[in-house]
Amino acid sequence: MPTVAELTGLYGNFMTGPRPGPEVCSLCFNFTDGFPRCYACTHGESWLDVVAPISYSVAREQLHHALAGYKRLTGEVARRLQVELAAVLWRYLAEHERCITRAAGSDGFELVTTVPSSDRDRDEAHPLRRIVGELCGPTRERHERLLKRSAAPAPEREFRTDKFELVRPLSVRSILLIDDTWTTGATAQSAAATLRRGGASHVAAVVIGRHLNREWHHNDRRLRSIPRPFDWRRCAVHDGSAAR
């Protein structure tokens, strides 16, 4: 059995860890032109205490392919990607969950759940739940499916407080949400809104990839300014506080 370090070795060569800064959104780590928040985070609702992206996911580059492939492909290739992405999440949480807990003002996340797919059919057997609920050591004991897609109509990338509903009434106050990709944040924020309205007082999100286009504006220069290889000892959150 390969170790977590072995499974993530290759990923360290192409992952790019977000860092806070004057041209970085203080919530989702998108690059900005000097504004404290990016367009989507300024104009959308925020129900999350903390958003912690493990890496940027640059369109059409390696991490983007892995994050698309683990759920679109089938068979051995998909299973291997799921194991690798679970190892990425494992290694990151083992090192940094306490940073996220602290930034969220929580004593510890009692439950870990995933952001459901906006697509009801796809959500029925989503491989992200296998990653979080079976493969990833730091989360599997605490994982529970808490959210499902509601019957309300909701376009894929639109924030809606009624997009998701609780599977059961909440009995815990502090919940860690996991998603594969953050683009506008509308889906994760919709999930967080349902958890908070259901009684959760602390909700933080860990996302594996914060989606970016390299061609957009100065993104290429900014991505290149982040040191390589990926440093597992650092995270976006303990380099500065990402709070709403």
Q: Which of 126, 211 has the CB closer to Zn ion?
A: 211
Extract the tokens encoding 60: 């059409």
Q: Phi and psi at residue 226, in whole multiples of 5°?
A: -85, 125
Q: Which of 175, 242 has the CB closer to Zn ion?
A: 242
Smallest gap from residue 39 Cβ to Zn ion (A): 8
Smallest gap from residue 125 Cβ to Zn ion (A): 31
Q: Which of 99, 136 has the CB closer to Zn ion?
A: 99
Q: Which of 203, 235 has the CB closer to Zn ion?
A: 235
* Beta-ladder partners of 96: none
Q: Could you list the residues that contact Zn ion (CB under 5 A)?
A: 25, 27-28, 30, 38, 41, 96, 99, 235, 238
Smallest gap from residue 64 Cβ to Zn ion (A): 18
Smallest gap from residue 79 Cβ to Zn ion (A): 29
